[in-house]
């Protein structure tokens, strides 16, 4: 986090900022008790906002007019105040919410009942090359969660310092190629040596991202390498079959170079949606287009004759490791 500024420094920097009553565009990074913390680029302080009358209960059409991640128009009031942590803050009103392009939330019976995070742009799946040992099936499970939530995913392979050059070439290069061919960006990095960290910043820049992965792969170390001083909770993402759709209070942490990292203090990271059996093939990009070519339109791509997916596996067009992942996950979903 940036070092705290003195009052004089703040007044000086505000001289160049927008006038107190200007309408500003910002991002809601936290909410609670009817107030919303809004981060506005070029403003030194967070603006703590109440809702303007038009967005208030009774007059609004939406159950949740404003959630974390929303882009909002804010009118700053002339007063300054303090937040719960005792930091001096600006105050204002949220006057309008810009359209959301994505929404994650709790859902029941296939219907979203509560949105917990709006406008998430990217799921960053972190795996280590060693310690813990790279596991392609684990990677596939995380990718499927992102696909089921209809969110773009990128793959970050950490601890590249622990792999030899030969191993990089012989073992990992083909894996990287396989996932890139599916449309996922793949980035080998090392939080230890800073290799690939500038590229990781580039990937996160100006986006709202969620970092997921098993414990020990280096999520905290990577976030700290990307922005020294930024320490988040970043727990393990929930896995298929364990507890469903339970997301709580998400906080967004601003990145100095632009963008935000989503964090859920005290609980596991942003929970992504788990696919049902029928949707599982849709969560594999290489199976999506081929499914419509199967003889049976309810083909499970396991044992049916005339299966276009199995034919593609046999022809070497679908990686056997990916198909094996699909079969394993299909088993889990059935249970």
Binding site for ligand GDP (CB under 6 A): 158-159, 161-162, 190-192, 213, 215-221, 234
Q: How many CA atoms lie within 13 A of 155 on its CB side?
A: 28
- Give the residue carrying structure tokens 């999506």: 288
| Residue 225 beta carbon to ligand GDP: minimum distance, rounded to whole angstroms | 8
| Residue 2 beta carbon to ligand GDP: minimum distance, rounded to whole angstroms | 22
Applying CB under 5 A, which part among 67-75, 77-85, 261-269, 288-296 lies near Zn ion?
288-296
How far apart are alpha carbons 55 and 265 in whole angstroms? 27
Single residue of 55, 120, 203, 299 touching Zn ion by CB under 5 A = 299
| Residue 271 beta carbon to ligand GDP: minimum distance, rounded to whole angstroms | 17
* Phi then psi dihedrals of residue 293, to 5 deg: -95, -5
| Residue 236 beta carbon to ligand GDP: minimum distance, rounded to whole angstroms | 8
| Residue 179 beta carbon to Zn ion: minimum distance, rounded to whole angstroms | 22
Describe the strand order of the beta sheet including 186-188 as a list of residue ranges.
186-188, 153-158, 122-128, 208-212, 260-263, 251-254
Q: Which is nearer to ligand GDP, 103 or 156 (CB)?
A: 156
Secondary structure (3-state) at 282: helix
Q: Which is nearer to ligand GDP, 190 or 251 (CB)?
A: 190
Q: What 3 state SS string does 26-43 have?
A: EEEEEEECCEEEEECCCC
Q: Tell whether omega for the bond before 132 is within 30 degrees of 0, i.e. cis.
A: yes
How far apart are alpha carbons 305 and 284 in whole angstroms? 20
Alpha-carbon dihedral 22, 27, 32, 35, rounded to 10 degrees: 10
Q: What does the per-residue mask of binding to Zn ion show for 241-280, with x meaning CB under 5 A?
A: ----------------------------------------
Is the separation of the CB atoms in 143 and 186 below 8 Å? no
Under rule CB under 5 A, residue 287 binds Zn ion: no
Under rule CB under 5 A, residue 312 binds Zn ion: no
Q: What is the DSSP string of 9-21?
A: HHHHHHHTS--TT
Residue 191's binding partner among ligand GDP, Zn ion, none (Cβ under 5 to 8 angstroms by kind) is: ligand GDP
Residue 294's binding partner among Zn ion, ligand GDP, none (Cβ under 5 to 8 angstroms by kind) is: Zn ion
* Helix ranges (DSSP H) in the chain: 7-15, 136-148, 165-167, 173-181, 197-204, 219-226, 285-291, 308-314, 320-334
| Residue 102 beta carbon to Zn ion: minimum distance, rounded to whole angstroms | 29
Residue 28's binding partner among Zn ion, ligand GDP, none (Cβ under 5 to 8 angstroms by kind) is: none
If you ran DSSP here, which 8-state letter would residue 230 be given? -
Q: Which is nearer to ligand GDP, 25 or 215 (CB)?
A: 215
Q: Which is nearer to ligand GDP, 134 or 326 (CB)?
A: 134
| Residue 122 beta carbon to ligand GDP: minimum distance, rounded to whole angstroms | 18
Residue 309's binding partner among ligand GDP, Zn ion, none (Cβ under 5 to 8 angstroms by kind) is: Zn ion
Which of 151, 169, 138, 140 minimizes the C-alpha distance to 102?
Answer: 151
Residues in touch with Zn ion (CB under 5 A) = 294, 299, 301, 307, 309
């Amino acid at each position: 986090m940036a070092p705290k500024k003195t009052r004089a420094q703040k007044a000086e920097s505000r001289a160049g900022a927008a006038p107190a009553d200007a309408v500003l565009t910002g991002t809601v990074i936290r909410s609670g008790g009817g107030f919303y913390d809004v981060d506005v680029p070029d403003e030194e302080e967070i603006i703590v906002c109440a809702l303007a009358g038009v967005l208030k209960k009774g007059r609004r059409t939406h159950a949740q007019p404003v959630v974390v991640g929303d882009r909002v128009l804010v009118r700053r009031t002339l007063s300054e105040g303090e937040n719960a942590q005792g930091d001096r803050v600006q105050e204002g009103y949220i006057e309008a919410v810009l359209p959301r392009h994505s929404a994650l939330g709790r859902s029941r019976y296939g219907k979203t009942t509560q949105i917990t995070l709006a406008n998430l742009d990217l799921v960053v799946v972190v795996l280590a090359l060693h310690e813990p040992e790279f596991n392609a099936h684990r990677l596939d499970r995380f990718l499927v969660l992102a696909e089921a939530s209809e969110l773009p995913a990128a793959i970050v392979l950490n601890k590249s310092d622990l792999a030899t050059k030969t191993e990089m070439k012989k073992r990992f290069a083909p894996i990287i190629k396989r996932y890139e061919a599916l449309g996922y960006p793949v980035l080998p990095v090392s939080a230890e040596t800073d290799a690939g960290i500038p590229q990781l910043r580039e990937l996160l820049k100006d986006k709202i991202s969620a970092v997921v992965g098993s414990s020990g792969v280096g999520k905290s170390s990577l976030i700290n390498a990307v922005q020294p001083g930024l320490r988040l909770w970043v727990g393990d993402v929930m896995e298929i079959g364990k507890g469903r759709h339970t997301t709580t209070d998400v906080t967004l942490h601003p990145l100095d170079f632009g963008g935000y990292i989503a964090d859920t203090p005290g609980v596991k990271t942003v929970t992504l949606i788990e696919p049902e059996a029928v949707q599982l093939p849709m969560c594999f990009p290489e199976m999506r287009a081929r499914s419509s070519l199967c003889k049976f339109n309810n083909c499970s791509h396991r044992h049916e004759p005339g299966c276009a997916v199995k034919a593609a596996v046999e022809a070497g067009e679908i990686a056997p490791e990916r198909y094996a992942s699909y079969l394993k996950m299909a088993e889990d979903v059935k249970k």
